[in-house]
Structure formats: structure tokens, C-alpha cells
Amino acid sequence: MLINLSINNVAVIEKANADFSEGFNILTGETGAGKSLLIDSLSMVLGMRTSRDLIRHGADSASVTALFSDGCDLCEFDLENEEDGSIVLSRKLSADGKNICKINSQTVPLSTLRAVGEKLVSIHGQHENISLLKSAYHLSLLDEYAKNDTLSSSYRLLYEKAVSLKEKLEDMRVSESEREMQKDTLKFRIDEINSVSPQEGEDDLLTEKRDALRNYSAIMAALEAASEALSAPNAAKDCLYGAMHDMAKAAAMDKSLEDFSSQVESLYYSCEDVASEIKSSISRMSFSPYELDEIEDRLDKITRLKKKYGPDLADVLSNLAKWEDEYGALLFYADNLAVAEREAEKAWEEMLSAGEALHASRCEAAEKLSEAIRDELSFLEMPKVKFRVEFTPHAPTADGLFGAEFMLATNPSEAVKPLSRIASGGEMSRIMLALKSALADCDDVGVLLFDEIDAGVSGKAAIRIAQKLKMLSDKRQIICITHLPQMAAKADSHLLIEKDTSTDAFRTNVTALDYEGRVEELTRLIAGEGSTSAARMAAVEMLSE
């Protein structure tokens, strides 16, 4: 149940708090007072798409917080409910477009906020009436009524697999001449690379060796100079040798100098080792112009491969492996094609079987749903209505093997036709309410919000809609925006949305009405601004009923 909605800096609402009760909650107010802003604010905190235009002029951000007494277990989202089971959703929208979303004070992604919100509140607005005219929406309603989550998910996976295998098969079914051209192209590439037979990282090693050969003279001169500096008489090594013996004598007389003596000794032997290694390097150094030419030639061949099949040697080797696989597949084309055909056929049959099972479930649900909707519409002052679901076979799609369309006839003497061709605005509102009533036990959403579900109706039909919403409120919390006094009189809680024009900046206030306040608001709904004693008496009578 939604307990409280706190709004800050949303359009003309600088600050507003709306408290809701169990059962049937009604929101009324003059046109333009900001009733739709409450819907926008609730949509915002439920994670739905919103715009920075909602931020109040002059403010840096807009924020909305919603407190729910319960509604869902947050464990599946790796979150925790409060100790009393309550859930607090909050969302702050900044002028730079950034969102800060929280659930019970823990920051979450917008997608998580939306997923939790969908389990807490279902919002029905005028756009949903438009959706009801689209046949694609009818299948989703049928699946919701039939609880076809498992069947539809299984079918969709099999459909995607079947389509994927079919596309793969079509790609394989190329003409003989095209296959031969592919084979020739692949064989040329493979042979060209294998003729060089490059090894991973070989180009880097060859480049390093080539550079050393190109700089042989300079390297040799530097090594000989270094050897002379270390090993010649009175050079570095001899100096260190003398220092080592001198420090040994000093350390023998003063123990505190032993560390220095050891360090000098270590330097001498390190110098001796380095000098020996440099001499060995000089003796191993050799230069062959033929070796340099061979390396240059090898690098040239590898560079050509990289330009054609690279850009890097790793890419050349990766492409070689791929082309060898493709070439092997073409060599065994007939066998591979036969295997692919069997796999595609099997997948298609499995998909069709799952599609038939899904369709059978939808047909069974369609009968029950049609009967339930006829009963609901009869209660809503459409007693002679004919309603049924009509299925049309078509090529398999991700939604199934059959399309579905809701068919209606408001006159028993007429043939049923698609909703989009015959239903008026008032009839659409009642059909949607009938659907909501029929689907009431199919999900666990605890809050249903209706934005002017009574649009386009009046008189007894309006009373029936109010009664139906009151009945629904026995199982769910109902929040409804209305302009009809018949609807407002049935509420357990009545909130008035008013625009405050006492200052230059318009503001919207939300007030919970007491009995006298409800009488005054019902009087206004009945008679407009020019209220009469008769209208007030009618308001009192409505409330007393």
C-alpha cells in the first residue's frame, strides 16, 4: 500500500505531501490544478521515463519520495526491506540530467528502481486505452491472464534458436560456383601465409636483431671502451681492488667500519664480474652482411602479410586459423549442409510444438477471459455486449503462431468487430476497467492508479464504475483521479488538489478533506462554482449513501 508521496520542486509543486489510506482513494481538483503532476511524480519515483522539464523553474533539481507499507520482497533485487517490511523509494532528478535513485536509503540503478516500482504500482492512463486498440497488446493481456510466463519464454527461446539456425542454413546454401570461388580465395590466402610460416611475435624479435646488426660497429666500439675503462692498469677495477684492501685493514682495527669494507669488497667483485661479461660479449660479437640481408628479407615478407591480412601479426595468424576452418567446412560442405538441415528442421519442429502449446493455453484463457469481461461489462451498464477473442494464424513470430484481437459488438444484433473500429471513449474506459477487474488476481501489484477511468461516461454508468472500483479496493489499494461526484462520493479517502495563486509563483497544494470539506468539493463537482443548496443536499445524500 502507498502510504505517502512527498514531492519537491516538480513543476508548479514547490513542496507537497499526499497521505493515502487503505481502500479507495480519490483525487479531485480544478482543471490545471496539478492532478496530472501527482501522476507524473509517482511515475518518476517508480523509475519511469521522465524529463528535466519537470524541474520547477529556478530550482536545481526535483525529487520525489514514496513510502509503501509493503508490496514485494526486495531479496530478489539483493536489497532488504525495512524491519517493519516497508519500502521507501526516492529519486532526485538534476538539471544536468543526472539521476540519484535510492531504495531504503541504498543507491540503486534506475533500472532496479523501475523493476521494483512495477511490482508495487500499476498505473492506468488514457494512453493505455490507446494501447487497448492495438492487437499486439491483446496477446500480452491473454498471457497475463493465463499466467503463460513459462510457456511464452520457452517458445521465444525456441523461436530465436530456430530462426538463427535457419539463417545459418541459408548462408550455407550458396551456389556451386560461389563455393568454388570461396575455396580458391581461401586457399590462396592460406597458402600465401603458410609459405612464409610466421610465428607469433617473430616480427618483434627480428626487428630487435636487425637493429643490433645495423649498429654492430657502434656497439662493438662502446663495449671495447667500457672493457678498457674497467680492466686497464690503474682503471676502475684496480682502484677498487686497492680500496678493498685498505678498507679491510681499517675494519680490522675498527669494527664499526666492517659494513663499509664489505660494500667496497662487493663493488670490486661486481666490477670484476661485469668486466668479464663484457669481454665474453666482445668475443661472441660477429657481423655477417648475409645474416642482415636474410633478416631484412624475412621482415619484408612478414610486413607484406601484415599489410594484406593484418594490421598486426597476431591478426594475420588469427585470420589464418579462421580461414582454415572455413576452407575445411567448404571441403566437407555436403556433410555440413546435411547436419545443418537436420538441426534447423529439428529446431523448427520444436518451436512449432511449443507454439501450439502456447496457443492452446491462450485459447483456453480466451474463453474464460471473454466470459469474465462480458460479466464485468454487464455490471458496468453494457449488458447486451458481445465480446470474444479472435485468433488468426500467421507465419511464426517471436509472439507466437497466431495473432489475437479483441472483438466487440455493443448491439446484440450486430456482428463483432475489432475494438478499434467501434468502441467509443466511454466504452473503452469500461472495457479497460473490466479487463483490470478480470486480471485483478493475476499479479501481486498492491496499488492500482486510474487517471480519469470515468472519462466519457456519466449517469448510471459512472455509478457502476465507482462501485466496481470500490469493489476492487477490497483487494487492492485504488487511487483514482476523477471529475465525477458519483466517483468521489464512494471514496474512503478524498484528496483535493488546489493551485495556490496567492503569490506570483503558482503552487499546488494537496489537502486531505474531512467530512465538511468533502461536502463542499462534491457540491463544486455537481454544480460548478455557482453551487446551490440543492447541489449541497445532493452532495450530503451521496456521502450518506
pLDDT of residue 505: 58
pLDDT digits (tens, 9 = 90+) for 42-63: 999 999 888 888 888 889 999 9
pLDDT at 446: 85
Backbone φ, ψ for residue 83 (5° rounding): -55, -35
Taking the C-alpha atoms of residue 438 and residue 125, their distance in angstroms, rounded to an integer, is 18
Among 66-75, 234-243, 489-498, which range has the highest average pLDDT? 489-498
Q: Range(s) for CATH 3.40.50.300 in the chain?
A: 1-133+440-513
Distance CA 11, CA 384 (A): 45
**Is 251 or 463 the better-scoring residue by pLDDT?**
463
Q: What is the pLDDT of residue 130?
A: 62
Measured CA to CA, the distance from residue 468 to residue 501 in angstroms comes to: 36
Rounded to whole angstroms, the Cα distance separating 25 from 385 reads 30
- Give the N- to C-terminal CA distance of the chain in Å, as an integer: 26
**CA–CA separation, 545 vs 489, rounded Å?**
8
Residue 227 has pLDDT above 80, yes or no: no
Q: What pLDDT is recorded for position 424?
A: 64
SS (H, E, C) 376-409: HHHHCCCCCCEEEEEEEEEEEECCEEEEEEEEEE
Q: What is the mean pLDDT of the chain?
A: 85
- How many C-beta atoms lie closer than 10 Å to residue 349's C-beta? 12
Distance CA 478, CA 58 (A): 34
pLDDT at 393: 94
Distance CA 387, CA 467 (A): 22
Position 413 scores a pLDDT of: 82
Q: Which of 20-24, 94-98, 382-386, 441-445 has the lowest mean pLDDT?
A: 441-445
302-311 average pLDDT score: 91
- What topology is assigned to 1-133+440-513 in CATH? Rossmann fold (3.40.50)
Residue 493 has pLDDT above 90, yes or no: yes
Confidence of residue 410 (pLDDT cuts 50, 70, 90): confident
Grid look-up 476523477 returns 482
Residue 395 near residue 421 (C-beta atoms within 8 A) = no
pLDDT of residue 34: 75
Grid cell at residue 12: 508548479
What pLDDT shows up at residue 237? 73
Q: Which triple of cell numbers denotes residue 43? A: 511515475
Helix (H, G, I), strand (E, B) or coil at 510: strand
Q: How far apart are CA 243 and CA 89, in angstroms?
A: 79
Residues 481 and 27: their CA atoms lie apart, in Å, by 5
Least confident of 79-88, 108-117, 214-223, 516-525: 214-223
pLDDT of residue 504: 60
CA distances from 217 to 221, 222, 417, 530 (A): 6, 9, 96, 110
Give me the mean pLDDT over the 142-155 stretch: 92
pLDDT mean over 327-350: 89
E runs forming strands in 471-527? 477-481, 493-500, 507-512
pLDDT (mean) for 225-247: 77
Q: In the numeric block, which cell numbers belong to residue 15?
A: 513542496
Q: At what angle do helices 313-331 and 289-309 cross, to 10 degrees?
A: 60
Question: 319 pLDDT exceeds 90?
Answer: yes
Give the integer Cα–Cα distance in Å for 374 and 260: 104
Residue 167 identity (one-letter amino acid): E
Which helix (H) or strand (E) is 31 found in, with range? none
* Distance, CA of 81 to chain centre: 23
Instruction: Please give the model's pTM, rounded to 2 decimal places.
Output: 0.63
* Range in 40-44, 179-183, 249-253, 426-430 with the lowest mean pLDDT: 426-430
> Among residues of the chain, what percentage have pLDDT more than 70?
94
pLDDT of 99 above 80: yes
| pLDDT confidence of residue 358 | 96
Residue found by looking up cell 493505455 in the block: 128
Does 375 have pLDDT greater than 70?
yes
Q: What tens digit of pLDDT does each residue of 170-210 get?
A: 877 776 678 888 889 999 999 999 999 999 999 999 988 88
Report the distance separating Cα 507 and Cα 95, nearest Å: 20
| Average pLDDT estimate for 362-367 | 94
Long-range contacts of 202-205 (CB under 8 A, 24+ apart): 202/302, 202/313, 203/299, 203/302, 203/303, 203/306, 203/313
Grid cell for residue 88: 521507501
Sign of CA dihedral 97, 103, 107, 108: negative
Q: Find the angle CA(97)-CA(103)-CA(105) to the nearest 5 degrees.
A: 95
pLDDT band at 411 (very low <50, low <70, confident <90, very high): confident
Q: Write the CA distances from 38 to 482, 495, 508, 514, integer angstroms.
A: 13, 11, 10, 21
Please determine, for residue 11, whether its predicted confidence score (pLDDT) is greater than 60: yes
Using pLDDT thresholds of 50, 70 and 90, give the confidence band for residue 166.
Answer: very high
| Position with higher pLDDT, 42 vs 254 | 42
The pLDDT assigned to 15 comes to 85
Range 215-239 average pLDDT? 75
What the block records as the C-alpha cell of 374 is 462480458
Confidence of residue 25 (pLDDT cuts 50, 70, 90): very high
pLDDT greater than 80 at residue 377: yes
